[in-house]
Amino acid sequence: MGTDNSFWCPTRYAAAGFSNSTKTAVWLYNFGHTASFDPWTANEKVCNGHCCRGEELAFLFHNAPLAGYNYTEAEEKLNQQMMTYWTNFAHYGDPNGASGSLDWPQYTSYTKSVLHFLTTNNKVEDYQSDYCNFWDKVGQEC
């Protein structure tokens, strides 16, 4: 509940507003994979066994081996996919690349498409809409 209110719902709200007001392409994602290794310290027990904010960085930058952790085969594939998307975005301004051959849909207030990063990625329409609609109704819009 706190994550939706503090992070996801304001992000969704801003992404919709930005894509509508500037006519600029926006891509939105949610990282939902819980790592096979423990990237958190003993002091962060709330994150152990759960996917917490920032956990995708170990996959985006492939830096877990620097801390002595190994990725599973599925996690290596996830890592490669993420690096490809981010590299394409940096180079072409589109995570799908120049040819558009990958499958990360643009986010708009109409499509509300989100790429949900897991070891088996999937597109989600209107991710967490029930929670965000609740927060919008009680005046939590950004």
* H or E segment to which residue 131 belongs: helix 129-137
Average pLDDT, stretch 77-94?
Answer: 92
| Residue with tokens 């180079």, as numbered in its chain | 91
Please give the Cα distance from 51 to 61 (Å, whole number). Answer: 17
pLDDT for res 20 = 77
Q: Does the pLDDT of residue 86 top 70, yes or no? A: yes
Q: Does the pLDDT of residue 117 top 70, yes or no? A: yes
CB of 114 closer than 8 Å to CB of 30: yes
* Alpha helices, H only, 30-128: 57-60, 73-92
| Residue with tokens 């007001």, as numbered in its chain | 21
Share of the chain above pLDDT 90, in %: 21
Please give the Cα distance from 30 to 100 (Å, whole number). Answer: 20
Please give the Cα distance from 94 to 140 (Å, whole number). Answer: 31
| Residue with tokens 């917490």, as numbered in its chain | 52
Q: Does the pLDDT of residue 55 top 50, yes or no? A: yes
Q: Does the pLDDT of residue 115 top 50, yes or no? A: yes
Average pLDDT, stretch 102-130?
Answer: 74
Please give the Cα distance from 104 to 100 (Å, whole number). Answer: 9
* pLDDT-derived band at 142, boundaries 50, 70, 90: very low
Please give the Cα distance from 108 to 112 (Å, whole number). Answer: 5
Task: Quote the tokens at residue 50.
Answer: 């759960």
Q: Does the pLDDT of residue 34 top 70, yes or no? A: yes
